[in-house]
Amino acid sequence: MSFQFLGHYLLGRGVVTQAQIDEAAAYQAEANRRLGDLAVEGGLLTQTQVDEILERQRETDLNFGTLAVSLGFVRRRDLDALLFRQQVHLVHLGEALLTLGHLTVRQFCDYLNDYAALERARKDALTRLFEGHCAREALRSLVDTLERAFLRFAHCPLKAQAYLDDLAMEALPLHHTMEIPLNSASSMRFTLHIGRDMLDAIGTACRRDGESGGTPEEALAEVLDILDIISIYLCSSIKPHELPTPDCSSGIPDPSGKGELHEGCLRLQLACPVACVGLTVALVTNRDNPKESA
């Protein structure tokens, strides 16, 4: 896979092996703690309070700490100390590889700098993709929220990568469409294009958390539930934003010049290390009834 994740990048350059990446990922999983776990361990929150915050997160785009403070569970100063502790103890993949002796200090410096430059280029390319679009704020907000939603509910670190061309879209046969009202006259209709690998990835994450059912049907139902949660979360998160009325007719051109030009539409490919998702967005000026399909 050619997506820009540090592991792929290092593998592509032959610096590390897949076994070393797996070992480093296991090291990270052991070392990195979630804020709720840290708070319970420090006696700042009870498990019941953590569960309540997580439940509320399904309906709002607020992060865990902000919700904990707004619900009066922790003081702001305690949260600050906790966030700092989490940050200081957070082990990135590069650091894990360095600690395990799979990268030298020199390699760590050089490859991470090179990778950071590629990441900057990716972000610049995305900025260009959004540029000039009348609803770029709404689109950017949608993409950011989608990345957070997949991380929160599917434990999948999704990252916007590039324009979704026709070939990539064909490989993602499952569709899940929702509509977010922007204002009284317009709405944003978005469709998630999902392939079998993403369903498997979400299913694996569910099994790891002990949430998924035993049979394949139960597992699939669980995955579809998560996609529903993500969609509802997106709708409730985007709605409160003050967004401009979209009035463009030009749409976003395919930067590679290969794909079709869709009027008023954004096509984007997002990926996590093991799977990808397509996102197509259409701005609808006379809102129809919201459609939902899976």
> Which positions touch another protein (CB under 8 A)?
77, 80-81, 83-85, 87-90, 94-95, 98, 105, 108-109, 112-113, 116
* Shortest Cβ 113–another protein spacing (Å): 7
Q: Which residues have CB under 8 Å from 21's CB, separation 6+?
A: 7, 10, 11, 93, 97
Nearer to another protein, 116 or 221 (CB): 116
Nearer to another protein, 77 or 286 (CB): 77
Nearer to another protein, 91 or 232 (CB): 91
Nearer to another protein, 99 or 236 (CB): 99
User: Helix 196-209 and helix 216-238: axis angle, to 10°?
Assistant: 100
* Shortest Cβ 33–another protein spacing (Å): 13
Nearer to another protein, 52 or 95 (CB): 95
Distance CA 154, CA 205 (A): 6
C-alpha 113: how far from its chain's center?
Answer: 23
* Shortest Cβ 245–another protein spacing (Å): 21
Task: List the end-to-end C-alpha distance of the chain, in Å, as a whole number.
Answer: 26
Q: Which residues have CB under 8 Å from 149's CB, separation 6+?
A: 229, 230, 233, 234, 237
Give the three-state DSSP class for 127.
helix
Distance CA 133, CA 154 (A): 30
Q: Which residues have CB under 8 Å from 207's CB, separation 6+?
A: 219
